[in-house]
Structure 1
Amino acid sequence: MPRLIPLAKPVINNALRILILTHRVPFPQNGGYPIVVGNTIKGLVTHGHQVSLISINVKKHTDKISERDELLNKIAYTEYDIDTHVSAVEFVSNLFTKNPYNIDKYYTAGFEKLLVQNLKDNTYDIVQLEGLFVAPYLSAIRKASRAKVIYRAHNIEHQVWRRLAQQKGDPFKKWYLNLLARRVKTYELELLNKFDGIAVFTAQDKTSMLSFGAKIPLQVLPIGVDLTRYCPEPDKTEYPSLFFLGSLDWLPNREGIEWFIENFHKEIVDGDLKVKFYVAGNSIPEEFDEYEVPGKVFIQGEVDDALEFVNSKSIMIVPLLSGGGMRVKIVEGMAMQKCIISTTIGAEGINFTDGKDIIIANNADEFYKAMLRCIRDEEYSRTVGKNARLLIEQQHDVNKVTEGLLAFYRSVI
């Protein structure tokens, strides 16, 4: 059932009226997707625009109670509970259709009815779809509203699934992930020119969109962060220490950290990597507890304050082998002045200089050498972190990014 919180405040004259749709509730802002959505809304509200948010809630059965986000007092907010669980029968039957089940599961007639009624009751200038999983509602939006529809591509989704397939050794898993990749690609390409504009996070994604035949306006807008929230305190940082922070219900994150542990667990416990290693984030499976080693490896799970956790550690690892788009956790880590070791895929879209404001490592040997240097050379690690912060200040300030987004809106209205 929907839960409505109509708390929008008066705004300035000539303000844009913007409706944002998300496939998950962006509160609390404890993951990449919620942080991006939350910062977008904060930027738009700060610039005096009227924002409404309608979210699909797929965490209906959680018992965790979160503190109410103050951002809700500045927008009109509605969330709608749905069950995205796919039964074994539905999974098997989907194999014999052409539909991408991982997208179809976010469509419900009840949510569409709620959305259409909202569009009839309100006049919007912009409807922004945050990712591919709310795209099934595009035709309903077109019928109910004259608003311009902006699609923000958090990833090029079929590339995520294809890269995952490439990493799999199991023949069935590889076949199935490739099947999903093909279906998602067909769906993405059919939609490509049905929006009024597309916003992407990286120049790489823009190039891909153009190669697929995009003819509508395309704009690169990087992830923006509120720099006042990121206050590094080097005196509270444990040096040396390695850490990973990310949600493991996103398959590329899980794949990456499993690869890292498989390659370096022994070196951290008994080898030359004289360092403590911390793993934190949402949805960490219970079997990861087996990796814990007292005084060496710590599987912490979800932390109460992610930024406090990041501040307390010195070297961040981002061993992404698949995925796409721009990684929020890297942007946040750089804003917190962390020395980051990442694959090229993990750092995609960031205008980094390897060895200056981030360290790129694309295989086990390169990761090992990078970690060994950072563990042994504190001055170098801290210099990389300071340079990283400067890069974020120059290119990822949410106020500058919001101005670019607003200019893009006005160009399509």
Structure 2
Amino acid sequence: MEGLLFLAHRIPFPPNKGDKIRSFNLLRHLSTRYAIHLGAFVDDPDDWRYRDALKPYCASIKLLPLHPRRAKLASLVGLLSGEALTLPYYRNRELARWAHELAASGAVTRGLAFSSAMAQFMPAGLARRVLDMVDVDSDKWTQYAPTQRWPLSWLYAREGRKLAAWEARVAQDFDATLLVSHAEAALLQQRAPAAQHKIGAFENGVDADYFSPARDYPDPYPPGVQGVVFTGAMDYWPNVDAVSWFAERIFPAVRAAAPDAQFTIVGSHPSDAVLELARQPGVVVTGSVPDVRPWLAHAACAVAPLRIARGVQNKVLEAMAMARPVVASAQAAEGIRAEAGRDFTLALGEAEFAHAVVARLQTASSAAPARDCILAHYDWARNLSTIDPLFERTAVVPPILETCPA
């Protein structure tokens, strides 16, 4: 098999959070066609133990430590160089040298960069270079800016502008750029019109057999509790903002109408702000759990009250796969191929969100159409197969790019 250079900003294992779920499934799929040479950063000390789990998929593995505090300090160089801070945050001479040596030796002839930050390491001379940008991250920084006080508001707005310029540049430089949804792809096409014909999308999948409502799961909730659950990495600021807003501004109205309701926040590394929410009546913060499925299976409903979001929310897809009623904000629902009112409930504003959750608690039914939606649109094998032509030595534009709306 020919060699493929796979560069990821975070070790693609375990597949237990948004970016790792996508990167691992992409890595596993490509490993059936190419000899993978994986280069990635490790920003969580617990993840070093997963190196061996990646060996079956890789011809070689280059993992490098990334210390977030040091990287933040290093990123400030961008203020002098005029570039997005994201780029010096990840910049690493050892990874760059390793990647270029592989290309120069002929060990790799193709490459995939997972996230726009990793594009800076991709050798220019490869036969095919594909970028999985996943989300238009620059827009996320732009959304962050008005939520912060100066100087962070200025810094985040600057990052949004500088990163947008970088995203447009690499979309032009690479042979193809992929995003997680057609909505994300359309946004990048608008921002990088010169590269419009090379921008497309492949959607995430869900392991519907793993996230199956047919299994018997132990009930983690106390007797008599009506569970309202949120799942996600709880050191990720949009998730922190989402659960804080729900717990403080929405859940009191839910508890007033349904005194047995319990808002359970399930996810690793809860921030201090999240831990503080457990002081409120009916709010429980679990921290990391070995298996999220029991919390979903026995919940009356799942909520996704995100106010800042990009791409597709795996937490919504997984709850839908478990046939759980989902109440989601417009931001959380963006990019998901599902019908509001049938597959999930769309809630706009605090009062509407509280009303929708109470209605789900009062009906206490499963959501079979939601699982049907996942089975129809979010199969990993089917979705991943559409990217294979992008790595072929051909000048023909693959169909996946032709179907992306402008």
* Coarse TM-score class (shorter-chain normalised): 0.7 to 0.9
**8 Å contact from structure 1 (residues 21, 130) kept in 2:** yes
Q: What TM-score, normalized by structure 1, do the two folds share?
A: 0.84
Which of residues 202, 220, 226 in structure 1 aligns to 2:201? 220
In structure 2, give the amino acid aligned to 1:187: W
Greater shift in the superposed pair: 246-255 or 264-273: 264-273
SS in 2 for 1:27: coil
Could you say if the C-alpha distance between residues 410 and 366 of structure 1 is closer, same or farther in structure 2, counting changes exceeding 3 Å? farther
Q: Does residue 365 in structure 1 map to residue 351 in structure 2? A: yes
Aligned partners of 1:88, 1:354: CA distance in 2, in Å?
40
Residue of structure 2 equivalent to 1:55: 40
Could you say if the C-alpha distance between residues 368 and 74 of structure 1 is closer, same or farther in structure 2, counting changes exceeding 3 Å? same
**8 Å contact from structure 1 (residues 54, 79) kept in 2:** yes
Which of residues 177, 183, 188 in structure 1 aligns to 2:156? 177
Deviations 1:322-375 (A, max 9, x none): 121112222222222221111122122111111101111131122111101101
**8 Å contact from structure 1 (residues 303, 309) kept in 2:** no
**8 Å contact from structure 2 (residues 42, 64) kept in 1:** yes
Which of residues 316, 339, 353 in structure 1 aligns to 2:339? 353
**8 Å contact from structure 1 (residues 289, 299) kept in 2:** yes
**8 Å contact from structure 2 (residues 171, 199) kept in 1:** no
Could you say if the C-alpha distance between residues 215 and 291 of structure 1 is closer, same or farther in structure 2, counting changes exceeding 3 Å? closer
Deviations 1:246-292 (A, max 9, x none): 11333222222222222134335555464111101122113433322
SS in 2 for 1:158: helix
Q: Does residue 79 in structure 1 map to residue 63 in structure 2? A: yes
Aligned partners of 1:181, 1:245: CA distance in 2, in Å?
27
Which of residues 113, 121, 124 in structure 2 aligns to 1:137? 121
**8 Å contact from structure 2 (residues 103, 109) kept in 1:** no
Q: Does residue 159 in structure 1 map to residue 147 in structure 2? A: no
In structure 2, give the amino acid aligned to 1:217: K
Q: Does residue 277 in structure 1 map to residue 230 in structure 2? A: no
Report the alpha carbon displacement of residue 120 of structure 1 after superposing the two structures with TM: 3.2
Deviations 1:276-322 (A, max 9, x none): 11101122113433322598221011111233433343311111111
Matches within 5 A, 1:175-324: 175-212=154-191, 213=193, 214-233=195-214, 236=217, 240-268=226-254, 272=258, 274-293=260-279, 296-324=282-310
Aligned partners of 1:80, 1:93: CA distance in 2, in Å?
21
Q: What TM-score, normalized by structure 2, do the two folds share?
A: 0.86
SS in 1 for 2:130: strand
SS in 1 for 2:169: helix
Report the alpha carbon displacement of residue 27 of structure 1 after superposing the two structures with TM: 1.7
RMSD: 2.7
Greater shift in the superposed pair: 215-224 or 26-35: 215-224
Report the alpha carbon displacement of residue 201 of structure 1 after superposing the two structures with TM: 1.6
Deviations 1:25-83 (A, max 9, x none): 122221111111111223334x5544332212223xx3577567645323233312233
SS in 1 for 2:90: coil
SS in 2 for 1:332: helix
Aligned-residue identity in percent: 19
Aligned partners of 1:169, 1:83: CA distance in 2, in Å?
24
**8 Å contact from structure 2 (residues 243, 274) kept in 1:** no
**8 Å contact from structure 1 (residues 230, 307) kept in 2:** yes
Deviations 1:87-108 (A, max 9, x none): 8876766545522223321011
In structure 2, give the amino acid aligned to 1:146: L
Aligned partners of 2:113, 2:138: CA distance in 1, in Å?
17
Could you say if the C-alpha distance between residues 411 and 296 of structure 1 is closer, same or farther in structure 2, counting changes exceeding 3 Å? farther
Report the alpha carbon displacement of residue 177 of structure 1 after superposing the two structures with TM: 1.6
**8 Å contact from structure 1 (residues 128, 152) kept in 2:** yes
Aligned partners of 2:185, 2:363: CA distance in 1, in Å?
38
| Structure 1: tracts of 5 or more residues without a match | 1-14
Matches within 5 A, 1:320-339: 320-339=306-325
Q: Does residue 402 in structure 1 map to residue 384 in structure 2? A: yes
Q: Does residue 39 in structure 1 map to residue 25 in structure 2? A: yes
Q: How many residues align?
A: 387
In structure 2, give the amino acid aligned to 1:133: A
Aligned partners of 1:293, 1:65: CA distance in 2, in Å?
34
Could you say if the C-alpha distance between residues 157 and 312 of structure 1 is closer, same or farther in structure 2, counting changes exceeding 3 Å? same
Q: Does residue 127 in structure 1 map to residue 106 in structure 2? A: no
| Structure 2: tracts of 5 or more residues without a match | 396-406
Deviations 1:363-404 (A, max 9, x none): 11221111011010113xx1xx21111111111111101211
Aligned partners of 1:287, 1:390: CA distance in 2, in Å?
36
In structure 1, give the amino acid aligned to 2:168: L
